[in-house]
């Protein structure tokens, strides 16, 4: 039995529902030995997470999930083992959070045009980190106030790409996101590659560019992938010489396909992204 490694999860510092220390506790209960907190575009939960993980005897990897743009779509890049005090990374993320705030105001306007008043203020009440607002906070507000039955319905009706309250956003360029992660001493990982709607040609361009920039890994085992997608991206990792990551993308108990630490192990043929860190363990 290898170590149980989970390198993708969210807390109340972005759009998760548990505080960083509570995510740590749940990861530990779920049998995770090595855990990363990777909130969207924020490093604020990392101190609390590190302290909690240490107290529980878990190996902690400081992380972040950066929202980036490539070929007109959003792509998420996870940074692992980053230095949370790196100025370039910090200022880049601050810029993204600012765009998020402006987008949220505009989403409030769009929702009002759909007959849903006060959604911006309502979404703000769902937020744990006053600096970070996202679509899931709007979705929770829409469900809490009876506008939608489920989070999925809130996305399908209003929030998903191209829907009535969708407001496109200029995230960081892929080049910038990878650059900040590497400058902060981390490894860059393409998150849930199976979720993007790229053509095969665009997907090749993404992986080629990512590798040119110094990106090291892709997520193979993630709560977002079906079993065939896991096999497909294992093949992609081998083809490109990428290391492979494993992460549940945990947001809330009972939400999503898998809980912390629950995914299958990586195929033996792949090099785990954590290999260099855990050599001595």
Q: Which residues bind ligand AMP (CB under 6 A)?
A: 15, 40, 67, 134-136, 151-152, 155, 251
Which residue, 67 or 81, has its beta carbon nearer to ligand AMP?
A: 67
Closer to ligand AMP by CB, 127 or 270: give it: 127
Least separation in angstroms between CB 10 and Mn ion: 5
219 binds, among Mn ion, ligand AMP, none (CB under 5 to 8 A by kind): none
Using H for helix, E for strand and C for coil, what is the string for 55-123?
HHCCEEEEEEEEEEEECCEEEEEEEECCCCCCHHHHHHHHHHHHHHHHHHHHHHHHHHHCCCCCHHHHH
Question: Where do we find the tokens 């999860």?
Answer: 9
Instruction: Compute the least distance from the CB of residue 131 to ligand AMP, in Å.
Output: 13
Burial-class residue 2 by CB neighbours within 10 Å (0-12, 13-18, 19+): exposed
User: Whole-angstrom Cα distance, residue 163 to residue 148?
Assistant: 14
Which CB sits closer to Mn ion, 112 or 163?
Answer: 163
259 binds, among ligand AMP, Mn ion, none (CB under 5 to 8 A by kind): none
Quick one: 166 or 277, whose CB is closer to ligand AMP?
166
Contact of residue 151 among Mn ion, ligand AMP, none (CB under 5-8 Å per partner type) = ligand AMP
Contact partner, 28, from ligand AMP, Mn ion, none, Cβ < 5-8 Å per class? none
DSSP 8-state code for residue 195: G
Binding footprint of Mn ion on the chain (CB under 5 A): 15, 65, 76, 191, 249
CB of 135 to Mn ion, least distance (A): 8
Among ligand AMP, Mn ion, none, what does residue 152 contact (CB within 5–8 Å per kind)?
A: ligand AMP
Ranges of beta strands (E only) in the chain are 5-6, 34-37, 59-70, 73-80, 172-173, 187-190, 217-222, 243-247
Tokens encoding 23:
């995510």
Residue 39's nearest CA partner among 166, 118, 128 is 128
Q: Whose Cβ is closer to Mn ion: residue 41's or residue 249's?
A: 249
> Cβ 78 to ligand AMP, closest distance in Å?
12
Is the CB of 93 or the CB of 151 nearer to ligand AMP? 151
Q: How far is the CB of 249 from ligand AMP (least distance, A)?
A: 8
Q: Please give the residue whose beta carbon sits closest to ligand AMP in the complex.
A: 134
User: 21-56 burial, b if ≥16 CB within 10 A, otherwise e?
Assistant: bbbbbbbbebebbbbbbbbbbbbbbbebbbebbeeb
Q: Which does residue 64 touch among ligand AMP, Mn ion, none (CB within 5 to 8 A, set by kind)?
A: none
Measured from the CB atom, the residue of 148 and 266 that comes closer to ligand AMP is 148
**223 CB contacts (<8 Å, ≥6 apart)?**
247, 248, 249, 250, 256, 257, 258, 263
Minimum distance from residue 212 beta carbon to ligand AMP (Å): 25
**Smallest gap, in angstroms, from Cβ of residue 138 to Mn ion?**
12
- Residue 6 interacts, among Mn ion, ligand AMP, none and using kind-specific CB cut-offs from 5 to 8 Å, with none
Q: Is the dihedral of CA 165, 169, 171, 174 positive or negative?
A: positive
Contact 143, 43 (CB under 8 A): no
């Amino acid at each position: 039995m290898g170590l149980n490694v989970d390198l993708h999860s969210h807390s109340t510092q972005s759009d998760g529902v548990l505080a960083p220390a509570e995510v740590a506790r749940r990861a530990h209960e779920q049998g995770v030995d090595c855990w990363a907190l990777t909130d969207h575009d924020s490093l604020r939960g990392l101190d609390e997470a590190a302290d909690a993980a240490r107290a529980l005897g878990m190996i902690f990897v400081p992380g972040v999930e950066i929202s980036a743009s490539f070929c007109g779509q959003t792509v998420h890049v996870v940074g692992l083992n980053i230095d949370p005090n790196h100025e370039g990374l910090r200022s880049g993320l601050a810029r993204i959070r600012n765009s998020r705030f402006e987008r949220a105001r505009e989403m409030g306007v769009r929702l009002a045009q759909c007959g849903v008043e006060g959604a911006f203020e309502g979404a703000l009440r769902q937020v744990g980190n006053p600096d970070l607002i996202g679509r899931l906070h709007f979705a929770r507000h829409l469900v809490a106030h009876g506008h939608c039955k489920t989070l999925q319905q809130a996305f399908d009706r209003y929030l998903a790409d191209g829907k009535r309250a969708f407001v496109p956003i200029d995230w960081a360029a892929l080049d910038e996101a990878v650059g900040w992660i590497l400058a902060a001493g981390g490894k860059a990982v393409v998150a849930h590659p199976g979720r993007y709607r790229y053509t095969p040609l665009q997907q090749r361009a993404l992986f080629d560019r990512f590798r040119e920039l110094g990106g090291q890994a892709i997520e193979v085992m993630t709560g977002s992938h079906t079993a065939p997608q896991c096999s497909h991206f294992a093949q992609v990792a081998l083809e490109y010489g990428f290391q492979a990551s494993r992460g549940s993308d945990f947001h809330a108990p009972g939400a999503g396909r898998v809980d912390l630490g629950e995914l299958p192990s990586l195929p033996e043929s792949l090099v785990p992204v954590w290999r260099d860190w855990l050599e001595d363990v």
